[in-house]
Amino acid sequence: MKNYSLFLVMLLSMIYCGPKEQQEVLTINPDTNFLFVSESDSMYLASFQDDLIVVKDATKKEGTASIYLSEDGRLLFSMERTEGHINIMELSRFGKWLPKHIARPQPTHWTGVNNHSLIFNDGDGSVIYVKADQSSIEGFTLGILELEESVAHHGAALYLNNDAVAMTVKSEDEEGALPKRVALVDIKSQQILLTTDDVSLDGIHGAQSNGVYAVFGSTDGILWIKNDQSYGLLAYPQPLENSSGNWIGTIKGAADTFVGSSRNHGLFKLDLKAKTIQILYSSDQIVDYQISKDGRFTAVMLKDNRLAVLDNESLNLQAEISIPNQPETPKGFKMAIHENFLFVASLGYNQFQVLELATLNPLKQFYTNVALSDFKVF
């Protein structure tokens, strides 16, 4: 009887107190690389070694230059707008810049799709085109697109995978600071394939491409051009409207996901297939937002040092927290998404936090010997 009672207790224990399911442990890819920019304008290439971040190489950065990486992680672009300098480096040969910088008037807006990179030069409305897998330090060649009808303006250019570039154009007699139309230009022939002259806009600002769609923010709606040479305008739903701070002037994207930002109203999902604009996150406190490479999540940084993560498919708020385990800094914070992780750094300090992207669960704190002014993960 005692043996039977013991067997029954063991059986009930197995039923009600059985072994817990093992939780998935997120592991940072050991091939993950970092580009750190210090407050002294030096750049450092770093990587994981035995769960530590080790600096491998260093080089100087041009004082006020903006830094960009091609989406395939092969090329580094340094753009100094005022001086008109563009420097390019292959990251596999870190520290070895092109022998001579490229001189263009006011290089301002960099965009990239896979291994295609474009730089729009505000000083003359021209575009530099670079294809990463055709580039090398010796004998580096570039493509330049210049349209006779276009003059200097604050614009943008986007690559489409039919080897065409959608670029803003502005003639001398057009009033206002912003361009009002876009031309689709064949890269090889430099012939204009189409213009959006029949779409009436007060101004264009903000642009993003996934190779299939080139998308521009404008005062009156979202201007889109597809690689089959169709184009149109998505009218704004309420509360968006044509007035300062109330239209989408910033657009970011990854895969098939586009998310636009309005300063006063927050983030909106732009569905180019369904031709809809839907509210994703309502706030006038957004400092920065980034989209995961697969297009699934949007990470948001707010002025009060909070983080939020959004599900771009369901339009739901996944999680929202205060930035954990970081020193307070008047210089603010910088974030970067890589794979399933969100990296957050305190600017001016040498540490950053790694969080699980989908939940914002803090995973690990890392320290470097570099006081960060910027960083990128690739």
Residue-wise pLDDT for 126-152, tens only, equals 999 998 765 555 555 679 999 999 999
In the structure, what pLDDT confidence band is assigned to residue 329 with cuts at 50, 70 and 90? confident
Residue percentage of the chain with pLDDT more than 70: 91
Q: Which whole-number Å values give the CA distances from 6 to 9, 10, 12, 14, 345, in the listed order?
A: 5, 6, 10, 12, 56
- Does the structure show a pLDDT above 50 at 85? yes
Q: With the CA atoms of 83, 287, 289 and 270 taken in that order, what torsion angle do they form, in degrees rounded to the nearest 10?
A: -100
What three-state secondary structure class fits 302? strand
Tally of CB atoms within 10 A around 85: 16
- Does the structure show a pLDDT above 50 at 333? yes
Which pLDDT score, from 0 to 100, does residue 135 have?
A: 55
Measured distance CA(36)–CA(171) in Å, rounded: 40
Measured distance CA(307)–CA(45) in Å, rounded: 27
In the structure, what pLDDT confidence band is assigned to residue 179 with cuts at 50, 70 and 90? very high
For residue 92, the 8-state DSSP code is: G
Which pLDDT score, from 0 to 100, does residue 6 have?
A: 42
**With contact defined as beta carbons under 8 Å apart, do 154 and 97 qualify?**
no
b/e map 231-260, b = 16+ CB within 10 Å? bebbebeeebeeeeebbbbbbbbbeebbbb
Q: Vertex 186, ends 181 and 188: CA angle to 5°? A: 145
- Does the structure show a pLDDT above 90 at 335? yes
Which pLDDT score, from 0 to 100, does residue 288 have?
A: 98
- Does the structure show a pLDDT above 60 at 1? no
In the structure, what pLDDT confidence band is assigned to residue 50 with cuts at 50, 70 and 90? confident
pLDDT mean over 97-104: 89
- Does the structure show a pLDDT above 50 at 245? yes
In whole angstroms, what separates CA 27 from the centre of its chain? Answer: 23
pTM of model > 0.85:
yes
**Element (DSSP H or E) covering residue 241:** none
